Structure 1
Amino acid sequence: MSYYTYAHLQYFDGGTIDPAEFHDDLLALLAEHKLHRDVGKDLANLFSKGEATFTFYGGCYTVQPLLAWVSKQRPDVAFGVQGRGEELRDVWVREFLSGQVAFQEGPFNE
């Protein structure tokens, strides 16, 4: 499993999400998952700038529940995330709508 995960986000249907709207709840979620609050900054970058680098072990399996949680906060906004770890086959795609994974592929490094 990779330590660095590079992620790119694409909104579908023109919607956007501003994680600042639920910042305090996001910090509580990160604490619950025993993740540093800097991960919240990475998520904010992902949703505002369309890309981010996450630094923790677990890659897709760690970030997917966070993305699903954000999707649940804004159930009408569909988005997809393409992720890549350090290993060649550590690539994955997830699409979210209403807090659920609507499409998934990978990671392929297992």
Structure 2
Amino acid sequence: MGFFSWITQDTKRSVANVHSSKETFPVYLLDDKGNIWKENHYNGYGDFRGKDYFELLAEMNGFTEQDAVEKNCELRDLGIFIKGENIKYPNIVENILLWKWKNEEPKSCYDQGFFYD
């Protein structure tokens, strides 16, 4: 499987992962309820200090572990393949003190946080 990465919603920077030639920088993952996860060294696989972006996406849209069991998959998979209207999205930003959650999907990074050269 490849890497997952995004463009920060406030500074428009690619979230580099620890395997790339670029330096990592602290980023924050936040949900619509005010929960925040700070990641200093992003690993490239969607995990922000123990909180998976795709699991959070699924949870924010009403999916549970039980839903995943019934569909014979992981909660993360439900987030990866979520479709439809009125989807709530986690935010990914650098400056948490200057940011208020908004329901906008973070843009995926074309370089996957790794393939910059």
The TM-score bracket by the shorter chain reads under 0.3
Larger Rg: 2
Greater percentage in helix:
1
Greater percentage in strand:
1
